[in-house]
A and B are shown apart, each in its own frame.
Chain A
Amino acid sequence: MLGILINSKTNVIVQGATGAYARMQLPVMVNNGTRIVAGTSPGKGGEFITEIPIFDTVKEAKHSYPEINTSIIYVPPFSVKDAVLEALESGIKLLVVPTEGVPLHDAIAIKHFVNINEAWLIGPNSLGIITPGSSLVGSIPPDYTLPGNVGLISRSGTLSLAVVKALTENGIGQSTCVSVGGDKVLGKNPADYLIEFENDQNTDAVVLLGEIGGSKEYEAASFIKNMKKPVVSFLVGRSAAPGKTMGHIGAIVTEARDTVEKKIEYLKESGSLIADTIWDIPQILDEVIK
């Protein structure tokens, strides 16, 4: 088994498969070898997208394809909560939610249901997850990646792309890259992924990409203290103006401890290595892996 959470036994259902955005992403996943087994789109049961059968409900799809264990959810923000419940109630334990703009109170409920079902939800507002050479659930371009032994965790989707590309260009391969979501309340936090990477025998080091706003880097730092594997952290938002949101709903400096400087200080104290630019990350990794 390579990497965390997904592998060659990952069998995916695409919820909201007939939307334009989903249709655009499907071939990339299929071409990368991801096993897309079925899709849902209420009212369109019986149709096909390329060769993927479409069902009206997840339950029906799961009945025909009991091997389905993962769902990627391409539905509008207000429909995400329902889609998540539908997947959970069909026994699906790994969910990926790319949708941006999920209401906070829905995210709170989603996290609650994910926890009581002992499931794992990546996102909301995520670019997905890739184990290079094995499986892709989401939109991280496979040709930016290279199979290897570095795990990557990012709050920002776009930043994860720039960094994974820089790693690959420098010959540093990845075990798994995951865009954990840009929202305030996430299915799983960066610290949860650190635990997975710490326990993954194919991962030798982890890159943690964080940003201003919120407390998630503090939680991650507390875990890093006890990790055996080296962690390289890179945080963005030094140039942010206090009180102004820079795009991500979670990225706002409202308290002193929300700033990049304070977070870096704490991560450093916890034993994390710190990169100042994207291009420092491969250099630091070169030193710690060899």
Chain B
Amino acid sequence: MKLYEWEGKSIFNRKGINVPKSMIITSEADLEKIQNEFDFPIIIKAQVLQGGRGKRGLIKEVNDLSTAYELVANMLHNNIDGELVSQVLVEEKIAYIQEAYAGITFDDITGKLLLVISTTGGIEVEELATIDKSNVLKTSIEPLRGLRFYDAISYLKSIGFKGKSLVEFAKLLVAIYQLFIELEAEIIEVNPVFLTQDQSVIAGDSKIVIDPNSSNRNTYLKKRSGSKLQFVEDEYEKRALELGFTFVNLKGNIAIVSAGAGFTMSLLDSISHLGGKPANFADMSGGASVDALKNMKELVKLVFQKADSDEQVKVILFAFTLSATPIHIVCDLFIDVLEDSKPSVPIIGSISASGASTSKMSMNEASVKLEQVGVIYCHSLKSAIQKAVNIAEGRENVGNFNK
């Protein structure tokens, strides 16, 4: 869950981190205020959640009001790769003498926090790896102990900072560390950190990503409820997300519905390996509560809709490996949806179940019931995938369908 730059900067500001003087603009009329508040040149930055704004012309320096009008008119309410720009940030231009970098994230191997600082900023994070090692410092932060002010001082000193800017930068590091904890963040990045002639340290940008698993207890997220936190351009993906599931729309000829991220990914890979093309990723795992069940049905419908409306899709494949979710729940769910409406393409199904999941219905019973509603049932996963690929690639015909 990524925050907008302006939100990050207002959080920084409240935490005592210096940020450029700024104004958020939601209409061209707002530009009138600029003249009284700012001296030109100013920086105009489109507020989108996508990265790489600089390269895409979404951050521009402007020298006069008429150019500002033109630019803001071009940015506002415009669709940038599916994302609507509804806010533009106007900022004073900072006269800096150096751009640095500061970021905190976590190490997925050690489970510790990771602090990264560099004397070079304003570049892509990936490029950090390519610059001179003596200018970059990566160090882990022990959980519980945290980042102390004197740690920050010695880390920054080791890559060449000194004097007042050393102290100011160290304060910034401690502040973003504290925010990282308070916000339950995954990433907080300040890139660039501006260092000025008078040795001030100013956050030139903000990137804050909050852990989505914290959302139900995250006081910051609760305060801003209702506003969009994730940029999703695709209509299907958006609807699946509202239902609490992951759907990724792809270009292919086999629509898929399954459960479990790893297993579903392996289905997609197997299809590709056999020469077919997956049309989507849809993972309906997420428990067996009443509400979850209703939502699972909606997800299955969504996949069927995608199959119906996408010319390329020739077949639907559903496959499950169950150990905890009862098989009758999955089986009845498909039967319910299929009794309501049949998709215009054949449906291949395969369920493997054992343990607690077969306490109320056996795999054989499930297969018979599914065949009764028109599912082409395969007892082995491999043959189900092969059959789906054969149909999709026109190597096998299983009867007349609308498509």
Question: A residues touching B (Cβ–Cβ < 8 Å)?
Answer: 21, 24-25, 27-28, 77-78, 100-105, 107-109, 111-112, 127, 139-144, 154-162, 165, 182, 184-186, 189, 209, 211-212, 214-216, 219, 236-241, 244-251, 255-256, 276-279
Contact = CB atoms under 8 A, between A and B. Distances in A.
11 contacts: A77-B213, A78-B217, A103-B217, A139-B356, A156-B261, A156-B262, A160-B262, A184-B106, A215-B108, A248-B262, A249-B213
B111 interface: yes
A104 B356 contact: no
Nearest to B271: A239
A162 B113 contact: no
Given A143-B354, A279-B382, 8 more contacts: A100-B286, A105-B184, A108-B113, A111-B143, A142-B355, A156-B263, A158-B262, A161-B263
A159 B266 contact: yes
Interface in B265-290: 265-266, 268-273, 278, 281, 283, 285-287
A250 B260 contact: no
Contact of A237 (B260, B269, B287, B356): B269
A86 B263 CA distance: 33
A185 B111 contact: yes
Contact of B184 (A103, A144, A189): A103
A142 B357 CA distance: 12
Given A104-B211, A239-B250, A211 B265 contact: yes
Contacts, number: 181
Instruction: Please provide the 4 A-B residue pairs with the shortest distance between their CB atoms, ordered closest to farther.
Output: A156-B262, A158-B260, A247-B261, A141-B354
B266 A162 contact: yes
Interface size class of B (residues with CB under 8 A): 35 or more
A250 B108 CA distance: 9
Given A109-B143, A241-B250, A104 B184 contact: yes
Contact of A247 (B285, B357, B382): B285
Contacts of B357: 141
B323 interface: yes
Contacts of A236: 262, 265-266, 268-269
Contact of A189 (B109, B211, B281): B109
A158 B142 CA distance: 33
Contacts of B211: 103-105
A102 B213 CA distance: 6
